[in-house]
Structure 1
Amino acid sequence: MKDPIRKITHKDGSVRYRLVVDIGVTPEGKRKQLTRTFKTKKEAVAELSRIRHELKVGTFVAPNTMTLDNLLDIWLKSATRDVEEGTASNYVSAMVPVRAHSGAKELQSLTEEDIESLIDWMLTSGRRRGGKPGTGLGVRSVRLSLGRLRAAMNLAVRRGLMTRNVAEHVTISREAKKKAEANKPPEVPWNENEVKAFIAAIQHDRLHGALMLTMIAERPAEVCGGRWEEDIDLVKGTVAVQNTRTIVYDRTLEKGSRNKVVEKETKTEAGTRVLPLPAPTIKALKSFRAIQAAEKLAAGPLYNDSGYVLVDELGNPLKTDKLRREAYRLMKVAGVRQVRLYLARHAVLSWMANNGVPDTVVSAWAGHTDLSFTKRVYVHPDPQSLKAGSEKLNELLG
């Protein structure tokens, strides 16, 4: 058998040891060989021993020049095969800063230090859209990107493209989390007085009925996806939350028109729920239905009888960004703090939890599968509930 290590003497008299070893076969059945050159025979023998051992136990990874960008292309094709369009878009977005910082680097050259450097850069300068470019991304966004990167590198290890996942044990440092939280403006849900002030301000607005759905803790996409015939029963006084209309960012479209509407069922089985409507919401929806009937009559053939609850004067369904702008307009009219509609949802769920509604009911009402998640993320103690706690302590301490 031919010796895989051959002594090479150069013209200048220097000696090198060239290793040529079989590492498998191509899909066409041709022999694949790896060639390495060393200064000493001892180094060549050690490398030959390592390669043969790894080939025997199935852990050998052949050198390649694949970049991280190449890997992410492969991973995204695999990871988005059977997911919703919105989820696929989130995966693509999560990898944008990763590609910007490290995409051109060779996969096998990456180290844990490289991934730590990437994470630090994302936290300080990684933003590309959804804010001022060049500023830091939030901890949650960076954590999601790191999770997707780990998944991509797990795929690389499984397919023999990397020896190990160098992102596996990389974390966001405690100091970085603390700094990011310090720079993040606090988001405080409305208190009871602000909720009532907002409701009073929308009483005579055309969108009163639709906005009252946000006041029973429906998500914006759920409000936009609601349909009169399939979801609203004004006789029984219920709303079936089972359809959503949300905006997805699609990079395959032309710039300026990449936001598109995607309609789908709720994310989870718990998200699909039937809620009994409070009397003020029933009244507001009946009024909104009557307004739309009059608008349909006035518009004649120009009216788009789309069947959605949240529509404009010609029956065209509104998107979540339009709902948000209308809500902000009315918050200004009401003289209350401008908060995201999700925080209005938080306010309502907190009020329910802080006023005796059982935790299981609050979680089911919110459309959550995890009771602890509802309590941890959505339920906030407010001054009124804290005062109630103080009054209760009077019985113990009095």
Structure 2
Amino acid sequence: MAEIKKITLKSGKTRWRFVIDAGRDADGKRKQLTYTFDTQTEAKGEYARIQHERRTGQLILPSKLTVAELIDAYLASKADDLEETTLDGYRNRLLHARDYLGHIRLQALTEDDIERWVAWLLVGARRRGGPKGTGLRTSTVDGVLGRFRAALRYAVRKRYVARNVAEYIEVPRKARKADRRENRRPEPWNVVEVKEFIVGARDDRLFAPLLLSLMGLRPAEVAGLRWDEDVDFTAGTLAAGGNTRTMLRNSKVIEKDAKTEAGERTLPLPEPVRLALMNFRVLQEAERATMGADYFDSGYVFVDEIGQPLTTRHLRQAAYRLMAQLDLRRVRLYDARHSCLTFLAVNGVPDVVLAAWAGHTNAAFTKRKYVHPTAADMGAAVTHLNDLLGVADGRSEAAM
């Protein structure tokens, strides 16, 4: 137990001091903290507070740990739990926190610091994807702020700090409204546009992989499909999500399984997709015969003319090339998934089936993020309203 000692300075003044254990450092050496006060009463009060907080698990010891060092520790704690692509995403989202806040001692970080940081993110933090030094989209700021909140929760759990100073900081509402006005994202294709694309792409070599995107598969799932393991023409099924090939920073291919159990699912093949895949398989056999020993037999569905596996980047490029050729409104390839799930939802597919098709565990998430009814989709509502608002014999009152 620490002892409060009376000490006399060279000047002759009296002070009261005690020393407490503060654990061990990274090298295993014992750490101690010294507290000095002008009066014995102050020393006893502080000593009692420290002992009480230590007993109740609330003690926060002084630390020189910086925000940048916290970020390093947080990412290291996630290394064994996250896939490489996910960890890289975490690292990217914390870059702005490291740049703006990294030099600050963690225990000195305040809500005002976080608010100034968020303001900077909205006006001057952009590195790429637009003019350098301009503001980030509010949706991006949400992701950056959310990840930093998680890092601070880790700091609270580790008792580096007593509270999370970012917990209640939000993107200002005015910034959200301005972002919605100035950066309206194109809506996913409607049914007419999907059909126009299908008709225009029918003779393209990559018609089958593109059709897989239109039946709701993620680009990484399309790129990871294998003929023998995932496509069953006899049963008319497709094993999606069991093997994906995604891109890390648009340069390195990462092959992995789905993030969740729900992501690995067996889907029945719509007949047009089954026929397109069969034709694609026949085409690849012909290309194999032409190339002979030079053909690269990778076993993947999405390959080029010599059998080399293609990536999600190639799939996007093929889709955008066809959009331009067909003079169709350009949307993200990933929006094909949105179009598919919206079509299924407005045509009465049950929520639980919709989520299972998408590979989600939460049906509410699927509907909130992926279902975007258009005015044309609301025709059924108009029919019901006609019944509600009309008169019993079907006639409405004449205009006055």
Paired residue for 2:325? 333
CA distance in 1 between counterparts of 2:30 and 2:258 reads 51
1:22 aligns with 2:14: no
Amino acid at match of 1:225: G
**2:339 aligned partner:** 347
Superposed CA offset, 1:19-52 (max 9, x none) = 53212155468572324566x8876666555445
TM-score by length of 2: 0.87
* Residue of structure 2 in register with 1:245 after alignment: 245
1:159–1:23 distance in 2 versus 1, CA, 3 Å:
farther
Whichever residue aligns with residue 246 of structure 1, its letter is T
Letter in 2 for 1:306: S
Alpha-carbon shift at residue 173 of structure 1 (Å): 2.9
Amino acid in structure 2 at the alignment position of 1:380: H
Could you tell me how far 1:275 is from its partner in structure 2?
Answer: 1.6
Q: Check conservation: 1:16, 1:37, Cα contact below 8 A.
A: no
What's the CA shift for 1:55? 4.3
Change (3 A) 1:31 1:276: closer
Q: Is the 8 A contact 1:328 1:338 kept in 2?
A: yes
Q: Which is further off, 364-373 or 56-65?
A: 56-65
SS at match of 2:17: strand
CA contact (8 A) 2:226 2:299 kept: yes
Q: Cα deviations across residues 178-233 of structure 1 (Å, max 9, x unaligned)?
A: 33333332230111111111001101111011111111111111111111111112
Return 299-308 or 138-147, whichever deviates more. 138-147
CA offset digits 1:314-347 (Å, max 9, x no partner): 1111111111011000011121111011211111
1:152 positional shift: 2.4
| Alignment pair present for 1:306 and 2:298 | yes
1:76 paired to 2:75: yes
Cα displacement (A) at 1:18: 4.8
Name the SS of the counterpart of 1:270 in structure 2: helix
Q: Percent identity?
A: 44
2:34 is the counterpart of 1:34: yes
Aligned residue identity for 2:206: L
In the other structure, the counterpart of 2:279 is 287
Shift of 1:175: 2.8
Deviation at residue 120 of structure 1 after TM alignment: 2.1
Q: Which deviates more, 371-380 or 352-361?
A: 352-361
Q: SS where residue 34 of structure 2 aligns? A: strand
Q: 1:30 to 1:313 in 2, by over 3 A?
A: closer
Change (3 A) 1:31 1:286: closer
Q: CA distance change for structure 1 residues 182 and 59 in 2, over 3 Å: closer, same or farther? A: same
Partners of 2:339 and 2:268 lie apart in 1 by 19
What is the match of residue 103 of structure 1?
A: 102
Question: Which position in structure 1 is the counterpart of 2:314?
Answer: 322
Partner of 1:204: 203
CA contact (8 A) 1:95 1:145 kept: yes
Map 1:137-286; keep pairs closer than 5 Å: 137-241=136-240, 242-249=242-249, 259-286=251-278
Distance 1:18 1:184, change over 3 A: farther
CA positional deviation for 1:9: 7.1
RMSD between superposed Cα atoms in Å: 2.6
Unaligned runs of 5+ in 2: 391-400
Q: Measured at CA, do residues 160 and 23 of structure 1 come closer, stay the same or move farther in structure 2, by a change above 3 Å?
A: farther
Give the corresponding residue for 1:90: 89
Assess if the C-alpha contact under 8 Å between 2:17 and 2:43 holds in 1: no
The 3-state SS of whatever aligns with 2:262 is coil
Q: Please state whether the residue corresponding to 1:307 is helix, strand or coil.
A: coil
Point out the more displaced range, 173-182 or 199-208. Answer: 173-182
Aligned-residue offset at 1:96? 0.7
Aligned position for 1:254: none
CA separation of 1:277 and 1:26: change in aligned 2, threshold 3 A: closer
Shift of 1:8: 4.6
Counterpart residue identity of residue 87, structure 2: A
Partner-residue secondary structure (3-state), 1:210: helix
Q: Secondary structure at the match of 2:384?
A: helix
1:253 alignment partner in structure 2: none
Kindly report which structure 2 residues correspond to 1:360-375, keeping only aligned pairs within 5 A, or say none: 360-375=352-367
CA distance in 1, matches of 2:23, 2:384: 76
- Taking structure 1 as reference, are residues 89 and 107 closer, same or farther at Cα in structure 2, changes over 3 Å only? same
Matches of 1:36 and 1:281 in 2, distance apart? 77
Aligned length: 385
Q: Is the 8 A contact 2:3 2:18 kept in 1?
A: no
